[in-house]
Amino acid sequence: MGCRERAAKSDLLRIVAVEGECVPDHRGTLPGRGAYLHPASVCLDLAVRRRAFPRAFKVQGPLETAVLAEQLTL
């Protein structure tokens, strides 16, 4: 989503929108539409800059990505 490079599903992190916030789905079991991202802060920054999350989840307005950014920096 961020860098637009192809990778195996197992190498990517599934992201789900929950109540206006982007949440990482490590197990892949959360309900709803999912978007896949490389687990790197560079890809997250590109996705935020391109406003890819609202388009991927088909929601209006921006989504909070602070929790996701914290998870990726650990």
pTM for the model: 0.88
Q: pLDDT at position 72, please?
A: 87
Question: What would the two tokens of residue 6 be?
Answer: 């192809």
Q: Which helix (H) or strand (E) holds 34?
A: strand 34-37
24-65 pLDDT, tens digit each: 999 999 999 999 999 999 999 999 999 999 999 999 988 999
Q: pLDDT at position 37, please?
A: 94
Residue whose tokens read 């992201």: 15
CA pseudo-torsion sign 64, 50, 7, 71: negative
Residue whose tokens read 């560079």: 42
Binning pLDDT at 50, 70 and 90, where does residue 1 land?
confident
